[in-house]
Amino acid sequence: MKHIAILGPGLLGGSIALALRNDIDVRVSMWARRVDAVEEAKALDVADLVTTSLEEAVTDADTVLLCVPVGAMSGIVSQILPKLSPDALVTDVGSVKGLVCRSLGPALKGRAHFIGSHPMAGSERAGIGAARADLFQSAVCIITPEAGDTSTVAIQRATALWERLGCRVRVLTPSVHDQICAMISHLPHLSAAALVNTVEALCPEAFGFCGTGFRDSTRIAGGLPAMWTEILLSNRTAVAESLRRFISILESAAEQLEGSDPSAEEEMFQFLNTAKTRRESLPGQSR
Ranges within 239-258 binding its own copies (CB under 8 A)? 239-247, 249-251, 253-254, 257-258
How near is the Cβ of 37 to its own copies at its closest, in Å?
A: 21
Q: Which is nearer to its own copies, 152 or 212 (CB)?
A: 212
Q: Which of residues 202-221 bind its own copies (CB under 8 A)?
A: 202-211, 213-221
How near is the Cβ of 160 to its own copies at its closest, in Å?
A: 21
Which region, judged by CB under 8 A, interacts with its own copies, from 11-19, 58-66, 108-116, 180-188? 180-188
Q: Are 144 and 174 in contact (CB under 8 A)?
A: yes
How near is the Cβ of 263 to its own copies at its closest, in Å?
A: 12
Q: What angle do CA 206, 208, 214 make, to 5 degrees?
A: 75
Q: Which of residues 98-157 bind its own copies (CB under 8 A)?
A: 120-122, 139-140, 142
Torsion angle of C-alpha atoms 14, 16, 21, 25, degrees rounded to 10: -140
Q: Which is nearer to its own copies, 43 or 254 (CB)?
A: 254
How near is the Cβ of 90 to its own copies at its closest, in Å?
A: 24
How near is the Cβ of 83 to its own copies at its closest, in Å?
A: 32
> Which residue intervals of the chain are DSSP H helices?
11-20, 35-43, 54-58, 73-80, 98-108, 152-164, 174-181, 187-202, 212-218, 225-234, 236-258, 264-280
60 dihedral zone (left: phi>0; alpha: psi -120 to 50; beta): left
**CA separation for the pair 15, 97 (Å, rounded):** 21
Q: Which is nearer to its own copies, 53 or 198 (CB)?
A: 198
Residue of 53, 137, 198, 263 interacting with its own copies (CB under 8 A): 198
Q: Are 145 and 174 in contact (CB under 8 A)?
A: no
The values of phi and psi at residue 219, to 5°, are -55, -45
How near is the Cβ of 202 to its own copies at its closest, in Å?
A: 6
β 140-144/116-119 pair status = antiparallel
Q: Establish if 169 lies at the interface with its own copies (CB under 8 A).
A: no
Q: Which is nearer to its own copies, 25 or 258 (CB)?
A: 258
The values of phi and psi at residue 241, to 5°, are -65, -45
Residue of 170, 171, 173, 175 interacting with its own copies (CB under 8 A): 170
Residue of 49, 107, 171, 194 interacting with its own copies (CB under 8 A): 194
